Amino acid sequence: MALASAQSEFFNLFGYLYLPNLLTAEIEWMTEEHRAIFDKKGMVHDGTKRSQIVPFIDQSERLCTLLDHPKVLEVIESLLGKDFNYVGGDGNYYSGDTSWHSDGAHRVGLYAKFHLYLDPLTRETGCIRVVPGSHLFGEWRERIEGVRNSNEALGIDGSDVPCVAVETEPGDVVVFNHNIYHASFGGGRSRRHFDLNVASRAKTDTEIAELDGYLQRDGKPRYYPRSHSVHSEVMRQTASAERMYHLEQVIERERYLTQ
């Protein structure tokens, strides 16, 4: 079911949305695929630091089908429109705290992250925390940047920054605007997670320049040297026409940027 207009308004205003149980029916196989991808890559998570694989759902033909899943599509399309772009994503074992940061500062286009946490997480055990409204630009956004070094700027520890702690059970989904300030505290050494990054299709020259900026880092493909593209060959080769619609602009821009 498409999101209610009140849910879209909540997302636009506060910068995030919590969707309990959205993918509970899929949690068993998604968790198994998460394990299998790390195994296949020979990556053993020892808990001392974050282990990350990019792009992630792209490593598994079955996880790629999340981009065809009606419930996933309904949420993303409600927020970004039917012609959104899939722009990659990562899979992780997180370890310990994640300090306050944003994933971007996009003034044009809408860039969002669709998160799945595969373990039950509470405020005390490392659930994602967000500062609602911190995705919005202006004086507020400039000042909220102080959460990055909250001890110096605000005289409080990062874990005491006023925020919403979005507690999740496996199968719940959290979507947030890349611009939002987020963090986690008190987490264990092995929090399993993966995400899909999506962006509104770029139409104007400014939007295309923003997308190009996302697809590159320091003049190299975003995931270089781990990958030359934010998609895998499997993602593209197994795509139906419907899925390809969400891949084609990235394919075109990556081709242009690397020619």
Ligand X SMILES: O=C(O)CCC(=O)C(=O)O
Least distance in Å: CB of 178 to ligand X? 8
- Among residue numbers 74 through 103, which ones bind ligand X (CB under 6 A)? 94, 98, 103
Residues 6+ away with beta carbon under 8 Å from 251: 231, 236
**Could you say whether residue 184 binds ligand X (CB under 6 A)?**
yes
Could you give the CA distance from residue 14 to residue 27 in angstroms, rounded to a whole number?
A: 27
Residues 6+ away with beta carbon under 8 Å from 91: 34, 37, 38, 52, 53, 54, 56, 57, 59, 193, 194, 195
For ligand X, which is the closer residue by CB, 49 or 203? 49
For ligand X, which is the closer residue by CB, 61 or 103? 103
Least distance in Å: CB of 231 to ligand X? 19
- Total residues in contact with ligand X, by rule CB under 6 A: 8
Among 34, 182, 243, 253, binds ligand X (CB under 6 A): 182
Helix or strand holding residue 217 (H, E):
strand 216-217
For ligand X, which is the closer residue by CB, 113 or 201? 113
Least distance in Å: CB of 237 to ligand X? 27
Q: Which residues of 228-256 are buried (b: 16+ CB within 10 A; e: fewer)?
A: ebbbbebbbeebeeebebbbbbbeebbee
**Could you say whether residue 249 binds ligand X (CB under 6 A)?**
no
Least distance in Å: CB of 76 to ligand X? 16
Q: Provide the token pair at 221.
A: 């493909």
**Could you say whether residue 129 binds ligand X (CB under 6 A)?**
no
Least distance in Å: CB of 129 to ligand X? 9
Residues that bind ligand X (CB under 6 A): 94, 98, 103, 128, 182, 184, 193, 195
